[in-house]
Amino acid sequence: MENTRIPVPPIGLTAKYPEVGTGPCATDIYHDPEIYRKEIEAIFKRSWYMIGRVEQIPNPGDFFTYELPTFKQSVLICRDKDGEVNGFHNVCTHRGNVVEHRPDGTCKGVFMCRFHGWSFDLKGNLARVRDEEGFFDLDKPKLGLKPIPTEIWEGFIFVSPEDQPHKTLTEYLGEQGLDTAGYPWGQCTQSYQYEVEVGCNWKLIVDSFAEVYHISTLHPNSAAPTMMASGNPYGRLLDVELKGPHRTNSHYSVWADVTNPVQRLAYLHAAAAQNVVGQDKINLPKGINPTRSDVWSVDLVIFFPTLSFTVSAGQYTAHQVWPIGPNRCLYQQRVFVRPAENAAQRVGQENSMVEYRDVSLEDLSTLERIQRSLDTGQIKEFHYHDHELSLRHQHKVVTDIIAAYDREMAEG
């Protein structure tokens, strides 16, 4: 590939979407506790949350539990004997202990609460009460586990924190879900997951992956050499596509002749370079590599508000942010890779995770510093570059939802 012939992507993304505007944006949505309270009501309670994949529970009796930090809830997901995936609030109906205390495992058809031993089957029915004789008119059919709305998209298990979801999962995922269905999500069966609590507003974490205007300055020795090879010194994007509240950033990169020895070993001898070489960049769902560019590397597929995927042709990373206060959140990162066909490829998997983690530490370094500037009122406006369009769009989506919520409340 002759790198010199590849043009640097132009300015002009924001102009495609005149409704988002071009002016500075007020920063109050990044720290104001009252706005945060409204976001919980109008945004977070009305969204769906990805908490795992179907491959984690292949067989009847397999289960995992998961915390939803934003809602202070614990969820129990299992596969029943009919092969169905069921989701429950992980709350024992006797006196409220968790029904299942382990993070994952396989049970023999019932979950037994460790407090007094009430047991529930894989469909949530109350199966057995210890020393039942001592109770007074227990209405056992009514004392099953409370289901949590649970839906599956492309093998990802989603739950809704509300008993009556504001939208179905399909409605929530919208055009973004349709455009990215069919990517081989299920082929990347191996995954790492790590998490970290960060003292910042949830939007700052979403933002930190949603622009690469920073790539040459914040990632000079790590991501920049591969993502900016061939003269894209400002790390411009191939495209940004806005789809309702969701959006996608499409990233430009060409394969540079990487000279770092460990990277070379991993990329050239251990199949780790699935984001840069040797992958089919064209036969993908239309929402991935949307411009069908052959200098495409990855897309950041964002599902508003807090789930996004960094997707390349051969592997992907999921980012999930859980707000726990106006300036606090839990960030979870999952790196999904294809199974190793041999022991050498195991090295490639680890290299992908380590590279991604260290680059992410560079990204996260800015967040608590920015939050301090916000909390102390030192920065009252953000000025977004054309290629920071995703952040401007998020600002508009949040601001519009809060305004609509205010009207909803005013009208009673």
Contact residues toward ligand FES (CB under 6 A) are: 92, 94-97, 113, 115-118
**Is the Cβ of residue 10 or residue 261 nearer to another protein in the bound state?**
261
Identify residue 10 by its one-letter amino acid code.
P
Provide, rounded to whole angstroms, the least separation between the CB of residue 258 and another protein. 10
- What backbone torsions phi and psi does residue 49 show, to the nearest 5 degrees? -130, 130
- The partner in contact with residue 270, picked from another protein, Fe ion, ligand FES, none with C-beta cut-offs of 5 to 8 angstroms by kind, is another protein
Per CB under 5 A, contacts with Fe ion among 356-375 are: 363
- Residue 167 vs 269, nearer CB to another protein: 269
352, two tokens:
């992908």
**Binding of residue 154 to Fe ion (CB under 5 A):** no
CA 111/CA 120 separation, integer angstroms: 5
Nearer residue to ligand FES within complex by CB, 145 or 204: 145
> Which of another protein, ligand FES, Fe ion, none does residue 118 bind to, with CB < 5 to 8 Å depending on kind?
ligand FES
Which tokens belong to 391? 């952040």
Question: Among residues 43 and 198, whose Cβ is nearest to Fe ion?
Answer: 198
Write down the least CB distance from residue 192 to Fe ion, Å.
19
Task: Determine the Cα–Cα distance for residues 62 and 80; give it in Å rounded to an integer.
Answer: 8
Per partner kind, with CB cut-offs from 5 to 8 A, the member of ligand FES, another protein, Fe ion, none near residue 341 is another protein
- Two tokens at 301? 């597929």
Interacting partner of 94 out of another protein, Fe ion, ligand FES, none (Cβ under 5 to 8 A depending on kind) = ligand FES
Nearer to Fe ion among residue 32 and residue 363 (C-beta): 363
Q: Which of 69, 50, 74 is nearest to 307 (CA)?
A: 50
Distances (CA, A) of 229 to 8, 20, 254, 312, 360: 11, 31, 6, 17, 20
Sheet holding 62-68, edge to edge: 85-89, 73-79, 62-68, 104-106
Q: How far is the CB of 218 from another protein (least distance, A)?
A: 9
* Spatial CB neighbours of 97, under 8 Å, sequence gap ≥ 6: 91, 113, 114, 115
Binding letters toward Fe ion, positions 324-363, x by CB under 5 A: ---------------------------------------x
**DSSP letter (8 states) at residue 44:** I
Look up residue 43 and give its DSSP letter: I
The residues near 374 (Cβ < 8 Å, ≥ 6 apart) are 27, 30, 31, 201, 327
To ligand FES, the closest distance from the beta carbon of 110 in angstroms equals: 12
Task: Look at residues 406, 398, 294 and name the one whose alpha carbon lies nearest to residue 43.
Answer: 398
Answer with the entry of Fe ion, another protein, ligand FES, none that 351 interacts with (C-beta below 5 to 8 A by kind). another protein
Closest distance to ligand FES from the beta carbon of 52 (Å): 24
Supply the Cα-derived Rg of the chain in whole angstroms: 23
Among 169, 166, 139, 165, which Cα is nearest to 152's? 169
CB 327 to Fe ion: min, Å: 21
H helix or E strand, kind and range, residue 207 = helix 202-209
CB of 216 to Fe ion, least distance (A): 11
> Pairing relation of β-strands 85-89 and 104-106?
unpaired
Distance CA(165)–CA(74), nearest Å, equals: 17
CB closer to ligand FES, 7 vs 117: 117
CB of 372 to another protein, least distance (A): 14
Give the binding site for another protein (CB under 8 A): 189-198, 221-222, 260-263, 265-266, 269-270, 332, 334, 337, 339-347, 349-351, 353-355, 357-358, 360-365, 367
| Residue 137 CB coordination number (10 Å) | 4
User: Which of ligand FES, another protein, Fe ion, none has residue 150 at its interface (CB below 5 to 8 Å by kind)?
Assistant: none
Contact between 9 and 212 (Cβ < 8 Å): no
Shortest reach from residue 149's CB to ligand FES, in Å: 23
**Which of another protein, ligand FES, Fe ion, none lies near 262, with the C-beta cut-off 5 to 8 A by kind?**
another protein
Residues lying near Fe ion in the complex (CB under 5 A): 363
